[in-house]
Amino acid sequence: MLELLADPERCQVVLVTLPEETPVNELVETAFQLEDRVGVSLGPVVVNGCYPELVGLEADPAAAAESAGTSLRAGEADALTAAATFRRERMALQREQLGRLADALPLPQLRLPYLFDAELGPDQLDLLAAALLDGVGALDPA
């Protein structure tokens, strides 16, 4: 068993994290422990729950609605502005943590999307499997 675990051609550990500070810290610590103490090889890191980048979040909701030929109800502009601010901050945090992870642990990252669903069913699993397959397909075979 030890021979199998020590052979990087046959055994690699794939760690999973979220693009947030504490999970990234824990993953990096675990990775070094596994390499240093156990001596196993590390495979790509799976980063789960990545928000897709969105453009246009700086737009004024009322002006955007007007240019689209519609109007907003009372309070909708404020709610849309708050949602856009949250999303911009979330994407900035995510970029920061993904960069920090890459700096601390230079391994390929397989990024899975954040799913905005209350439950996981076949459709959601298909989305995650496709994202994982695309990420694995993009890995350098060398």
DSSP structural state of residue 34:
I
Neighbours of 69 (CB within 10 A): 6
Establish if 50 belongs to a structural domain: yes
Per-residue pLDDT of 13-22, as tens digits, reads 999 999 999 9
- The answer to the question of residue 23 being in a domain is yes
Instruction: Summarize the confidence of residues 36-55 as an average pLDDT.
Output: 92
Nearest residue to 131 via CA among 63, 53, 48, 69: 48
Span 64-95, pLDDT tens digits? 999 999 999 999 999 999 999 999 999 999 99
Count how many domains the chain has.
1
What's the pLDDT at 142? 57
CA distance 62 to 77: 6
In a domain, 55, yes or no: yes
123 lies in some domain: yes
CATH code at 76?
3.40.50.300
pTM score: 0.86
13: helix, coil or strand?
strand
Q: What is residue 2's predicted lDDT score, i.e. its pLDDT?
A: 77
CA proximity to 47, closest of 97, 82, 120: 97
pLDDT at 6 over 80: no
Judged against a pLDDT cut of 60, whether residue 47 lies above it is answered with yes
CA–CA separation, 71 vs 67, rounded Å? 9
Helix (H, G, I), strand (E, B) or coil at 22: helix
81 located within any domain:
yes
Structural domain boundaries enclosing 36? 2-137
pLDDT, one tens digit per residue, over 103-137 is 999 999 999 999 999 999 999 999 999 999 999 99
d(CA 5, CA 39): 8
Whether the pLDDT of residue 39 is over 90: the answer is no
In a domain, 142, yes or no: no
